[in-house]
Chain A
Amino acid sequence: MKKIYPNAAAALEGLLFDGMLIAAGGFGICGIPELLIAAIRDAGTKNLTVASNNAGVDGFGLGQLLETRQVKKMISSYVGENAEFMRQYLSGELELEFNPQGTLAERLRAGGAGIPGFYTATGVGTVIADGKEHHDFNGKTYILETGIVADLAIVKAWKADPSGNLVFRKTARNFNPPAATSGKICVVEVEEIVPLGSLDPDTIHLPGIYVHRIVQGDHEKRIENRTTRKRAAQPVDIDSVARATNSKEA
Chain B
Amino acid sequence: MWDRNQMAERAGRELQDGWYVNLGIGIPTLVANYIPEGVNVTLQSENGMLGMGPFPFEGEEDPDLINAGKQTITELPQTAYFDSAQSFAMIRGGKIAMAILGAMEVSENGDLANWMIPGKLVKGMGGAMDLVAGVGRVVVVMDHTSKYGESKVLKACTLPLTGKAVVDRIISNLGVLDVVPGGLRIVEVADGVTEAELRAATEGIIVD
Contacts and interface: CB of A to CB of B under 8 A. Distances in A.
Given A121-B133, A124-B133, A171 B126 contact: no
B10 to A, nearest CB: 24
Interface size class of B (residues with CB under 8 A): 35 or more
Secondary structure at the B interface, as helix, strand, loop or mixed, is loop
Contacts of B130: 100-103, 122
Nearest to A126: B161
Contacts of B62: 170
A57 B161 CA distance: 26
Interface in A4-39: 27-31
A108 B180 CA distance: 37
A226 B56 CA distance: 9
A105 B49 CA distance: 15
Given A77-B125, A77-B127, A171-B45, A221 B85 contact: no
B65 A170 contact: yes
A225 interface: yes
Contacts of B127: 77, 100-102
Interface residues of A, number: 58
A101 B61 contact: no
B83 interface: yes
Interface string B113-136: 000000100111111111001100
Contact of A226 (B49, B72, B123, B128): B72
A248 interface: no
A121 B84 CA distance: 17
Nearest to B91: A102
Interface centre among B64, B73, B88, B165 (most CB of A within 10 A): B64
Contacts of A79: 122-124
Given A53-B84, A121-B92, A173-B81, A126 B164 contact: yes
B129 A122 contact: yes
A178 interface: yes
B105 interface: no
B71 A230 contact: no
Nearest to B164: A125
A231 B55 CA distance: 11
A121 B122 CA distance: 23
B63 A176 contact: no
B138 interface: no
A72 B177 CA distance: 45
A90 to B, nearest CB: 7
B84 A86 contact: no
A224 interface: yes
Interface centre among A89, A109, A170, A171 (most CB of B within 10 A): A171
A80 B25 CA distance: 13
Nearest to B131: A102
Given A90-B122, A102-B127, A30 B83 contact: no
Interface string B157-179: 00011111100000000000000
Interface of A: 27-31, 53, 76-81, 86, 89-90, 96, 98, 100-103, 105-106, 108-109, 120-128, 158, 168-178, 205, 221-231
